[in-house]
């Protein structure tokens, strides 16, 4: 019986560890509000920034596909394929492209998907942004 409780305890500790690691991963961070994500991005080392940018772009592209917009990251990335350059350009355009009040609690990957859509299909971006602001 004692062995059973030990096994259950180890399984629970492992599950909690797995969930915490998943939430702290770059992909998990893309679910945080964009302002929190940007703060984390700005404070990160260049290697961490690259990982965060890459994860955000992948998550954003998947979400854009769910919104029925085909996005090719290889075409959107600069010639050196550095995703941080695209994220830095987004930072400069963020409050111009999307109203500040809409950014407060919006997940980073949603904002990323909208910005990817803006680059690929500007008309669809305006439609989606209009729907998001009226809801």
What is the tally of structural domains in the chain?
A: 1
Q: How many C-beta atoms lie closer than 10 Å to residue 53's C-beta? A: 23
Q: Is residue 13 part of a domain?
A: no
Tell me, yes or no, whether 115 lies in a domain. Answer: yes
Nearest to 97 by CA among 83, 115, 85: 115
For 115, counting Cβ atoms within 10 Å of its Cβ (0-12 exposed, 13-18 middle, 19+ buried), the class is buried
Q: Which position has the higher pLDDT, 1 or 79?
A: 1
Q: How confident is the model at residue 23 (pLDDT cuts 50, 70, 90)?
A: very low
Q: What is the CA radius of gyration of the chain?
A: 18
- Which residues form the domain of 73? 30-134
- How many Å apart are CA 111 and CA 101, to the nearest integer? 13
What pLDDT does 83 receive? 87
Residue 132: the pLDDT is 54
Mean pLDDT of the chain: 79
DSSP E strands: which ranges in the chain? none
In the structure encoding, which two tokens stand for residue 85, read together? 């350059």
Q: Is 9 among the domain residues?
A: no
What token pair was written down for 122? Answer: 């500007």
| Confidence (pLDDT) at 134 | 47
Q: Is 51 within the bounds of a domain?
A: yes
With a cut of 60, say whether residue 89 has pLDDT above it. yes
Long-range residue pairs from 127-131, CB within 8 A, at least 24 positions apart, any chain = 128/67, 129/98, 129/102
Q: Is residue 68 part of a domain?
A: yes
Residue 24 in tokens = 């702290």
3 in any annotated domain? no
Confidence of residue 127 (pLDDT cuts 50, 70, 90): confident
Helix (H) or strand (E) holding 126, with range, is helix 122-134
Give pLDDT tens digits for 50-70.
999 999 999 999 999 998 888
Task: Please check whether residue 23 lies inside any domain of the structure.
Answer: no
């Amino acid at each position: 019986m004692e062995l059973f409780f030990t096994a259950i305890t180890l399984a629970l500790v492992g599950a909690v560890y797995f969930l915490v690691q998943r939430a702290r991963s770059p992909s998990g961070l893309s679910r945080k509000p964009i302002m929190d994500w940007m703060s984390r991005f700005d404070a990160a080392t260049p290697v961490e920034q690259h990982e965060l940018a890459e994860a955000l772009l992948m998550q954003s592209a998947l979400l854009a596909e769910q919104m029925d917009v085909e996005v090719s990251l290889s075409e959107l990335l600069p010639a050196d394929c550095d995703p941080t350059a695209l994220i830095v350009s987004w930072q400069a355009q963020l409050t111009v492209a999307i109203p500040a009040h809409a950014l407060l609690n919006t997940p980073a990957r949603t904002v990323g998907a909208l910005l990817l859509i803006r680059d690929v299909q500007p008309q669809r971006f305006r439609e989606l942004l209009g729907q998001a602001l009226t809801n």
